[in-house]
Amino acid sequence: MKVYKFGGASVKDASGVKNVCSIITSTNDNLVVVVSAMAKTTNALERVLAAYLENKPNDLKAEMAELKNFHANIINELFANPEKQRFELEAVLEGLSYFLSINTKRDYDFCYDQVVSVGELISTKIVAAYLASQNIDAEWVDVRTILKTDSTYRDANVNFETSGELFRNTIDFNQHHIYLTQGFIGANHKGYSTTLGREGSDYTAAIIANLLGGESVTIWKDVPGVLNADPRIFKDTVHLPSVSYKQAIELAFYGAQIIHPKTIKPLQNRSIPLYVRSFVDPAAPGTEVAASIAKTEAVPVYILKQKQTLISVEPKDYSFALEDSWIKVFSIMQKYRLKANLIQNSAISMSISVDGTNQQLPAAIDEFMNDFRVKYNEGLNLLTIQNYNEYILESYSADVEVILMQKSRRTARILYR
Ligand code: ASP
Ligand code: MG
């Protein structure tokens, strides 16, 4: 069996849904198809949640109406008799409204998962109904009944053992040769929805391939595969036909928004190759991510992470010589889920670059202030260049204010303003 994953951009409108269905039916392989929420639905649901938690009933109503309209328009375009699908859409949204009306927990992460998971339920129901209308037998599965996680809402950890058993009991290719399910979401033992972190559908696809011993995972995207830089930011990008697991993990860590960082591990454990291919041009070869790749010449790869905040902490008692201060820094980071994108230390201080958009950052800085003198710099850019040379480094650091630079033999990192 193979796993196909389609992101929000691939199902952003009715013609997108049709295109996805034609890609699904162009193979005879047994498939598990993982689909994300349509277009920017997850962001819209985040606004629903904000309106709810901030007690703004008018905004809440408007956001819900917008969600309904957006999906209803797609349904109207896809189906000759759209009533049944419209009814299903309304049922899901009424379920959400009902949850909001009876919920008493104000815990943001818990509420987030209950609200946001609705996006994937709606999208997969629409895609499944469209396949059915084309006489294609695809079995819709509510992934929450088989993908079991702990209760770390918004960043849930999957229970591979329990989920593996449930998947193997549920997915039977003698019954159906296509299964269609949701990315990004799961459920805990109490039956509450959980999510795996933003853009987590890639990770779902990898988990499913791992649990079912898949032959490969294909992530269908709006780019022709992995490029050596983001074409929206850099000129003259080069397509990379193959990338090793290790390089893929590095790319994800440095901020290339091509594959979710957690995706590689479940694949690597079972040597399952990952293909990144274009849903716009499905015949194009794309990029293969696998254990070992043919050694290509070392193309420079550029990854830019914007909106960085550099926090510099200095123990009030100059105790950085002692490990205790290090532990304190990292436990605060862990508590507020701050990811260190770059770290530099000196005898008396430690500087850490983190995503400035992290909502928990102000609270974390407050807590740092208990034990440390804290300075921070906002609005920085972090550029990582793999396979750099001195000429490249110079040209990228010439016209900017370099705050910090780190170099290893193969990788250079420049934090600048
Ligand atoms: N719909 C979710 C998000 O936008 C998950 C995903 O697309 O992978 O974050
Ligand atoms: Mg998405």
Strand partners of residue 158: 149
Distance 385 CA to ligand 2 centre (A): 26
42 within a domain of the structure (yes/no): yes
- Specify if 295 maps to a domain: no
Domain that holds residue 88: 2-290
Please tell me whether residues 366 and 280 are part of one structural domain.
no
Q: How far, in Å, are 21, 239, 243, 244 from residue 296 at the CA level?
A: 34, 12, 9, 11
Q: Which CATH number covers residue 238?
A: 3.40.1160.10
Strand 372-386 and strand 411-416: the pairing is: antiparallel
Backbone φ and ψ of 214, nearest 5° = -65, 155
In terms of domains, do 245 and 124 share one? yes
Give pLDDT tens digits along the chain (417 positions): 999 999 999 999 999 999 999 999 999 999 999 999 999 999 999 999 999 999 999 999 999 999 999 999 999 999 999 999 999 999 999 999 999 999 999 999 999 999 999 999 999 999 999 999 999 999 999 999 999 999 999 999 999 999 999 999 999 999 999 999 999 999 999 999 999 999 999 999 999 999 999 999 999 999 889 989 988 888 888 899 999 998 888 888 888 878 888 999 999 999 999 999 999 999 999 999 998 776 556 889 999 999 999 999 998 887 766 678 888 999 999 999 899 999 999 888 899 999 999 989 999 999 999 989 999 999 999 999 999 999 999 999 999 999 999 999 999 999 999
Same domain, 91 and 236: yes
Same domain? 257 vs 306: no
User: Helix 57-78 vs helix 118-133: angle between axes, to the nearest 10 degrees?
Assistant: 20
CATH number for the domain that contains residue 319: 3.30.2130.10
User: 3-class secondary structure for 105-152?
Assistant: CCCHHHHHHHHHCHHHHHHHHHHHHHHHHCCCCCEECCHHHCCEECCC
> Is 177 within the bounds of a domain?
yes
- What pLDDT shows up at residue 320? 67
Distance CA 308, CA 60 (A): 31
Amino acid symbol at 266: P
Q: Which residues surround ligand 2, an ion (CB under 5 A)?
A: 7-8, 36
Is 184 strand, coil or helix? coil
Residue 170 and residue 232 in one domain: yes
**Residue at a domain's end among 240, 271, 290:** 290
| Assigned domain for 317 exists | yes
For residue 296, being part of any structural domain is answered with no
Q: Does the beta carbon of 262 sit less than 6 angstroms from any atom of ligand 1?
A: no
Q: Is 201 in the pocket of ligand 1 (CB under 6 A)?
A: yes
Ligand with smallest separation from the Cα of 183? 1
Judgement on whether residues 255 and 367 belong to the same structural domain of the protein: no
| DSSP labels, 51-96 | HHHTT-HHHHHHHHHHHHHHHHHHHHHH-SSTHHHHHHHHHHHHHH
Q: Is 390 helix (H, G, I), strand (E, B) or coil?
A: helix
Residues 6+ positions from 191 with CB-CB distance below 8 Å: 144
| Pocket flag, ligand 1, residue 37 (CB < 6 Å) | yes
| Helix/strand/coil for 391 | helix
- Give the number of whichever ligand sits closest to the CA of residue 119: 1
Q: Do residues 143 and 174 share a domain?
A: yes
Tokens representing residue 53 in the block:
């938690």
Do 316 and 373 touch, CB atoms closer than 8 A? yes
Which atom of ligand 1 approaches the CA of 197 most closely? 9
Residue having the nearest C-alpha atom to atom 2 of ligand 1: 199
Residues of each annotated binding site:
5-8, 42, 120, 232
- Taking the centre of ligand 1 as the mean of its atom positions, its distance from the CA of residue 116, in whole angstroms, is 9
Burial string for 385-406 (b: 16+ CB within 10 Å, else e) reads: bbebeeeebeebeeeeeebbee
CA 396 remoteness from chain centre: 29
CB burial of residue 376 (10 Å; 0-12, 13-18, 19+): middle
* CA 210 to centroid of ligand 1, rounded, Å: 20
Cβ-contact 18, 229 below 8 angstroms? no
* Domain count of the fold of the chain: 2
Q: How far is the CA of 367 from the centre of ligand 2 (A)?
A: 33
Its pTM stands at 0.89
Whether the CB of 200 sits within 6 Å of ligand 1: yes
pLDDT value for 161: 98
Ligand 1 binding pocket includes 246 (Cβ within 6 Å) = no
37 plus 147 within the same structural domain? yes
Domain end residue (candidates: 258, 290, 322): 290
Best residue among 42, 46, 221 to mutate for probing ligand 1, ranked by most atoms within 8 Å of CB: 42
Query: What is the predicted pLDDT for the residue at 292?
Result: 77
Residue finishing a domain among 248, 268, 290 = 290
Q: How many angstroms separate the CA atoms of 83 and 60, rounded?
A: 25
Residue 159 — left, alpha, or beta (φ > 0 → left; ψ -120 to 50 → alpha)? beta
**Whole-number pLDDT of residue 124:** 98
Query: Does one domain contain both 211 and 353?
Result: no
Residues 281 and 310 in one domain: no
User: Ligand 1 within 6 A of 42 CB?
Assistant: yes
- Same structural domain for residues 175 and 99? yes
Q: Which of 68, 179, 183 is nearest to 120 (CA)?
A: 183
Identify whether the C-beta of residue 291 lies closer than 8 Å to the C-beta of residue 241: no
106, 233: one domain? yes
119 CA distance to ligand 1 middle (Å):
9
Whether 185 lines ligand 1, by a CB cut-off of 6 Å, is no
Residue nearest to atom 7 of ligand 1 (CA): 199
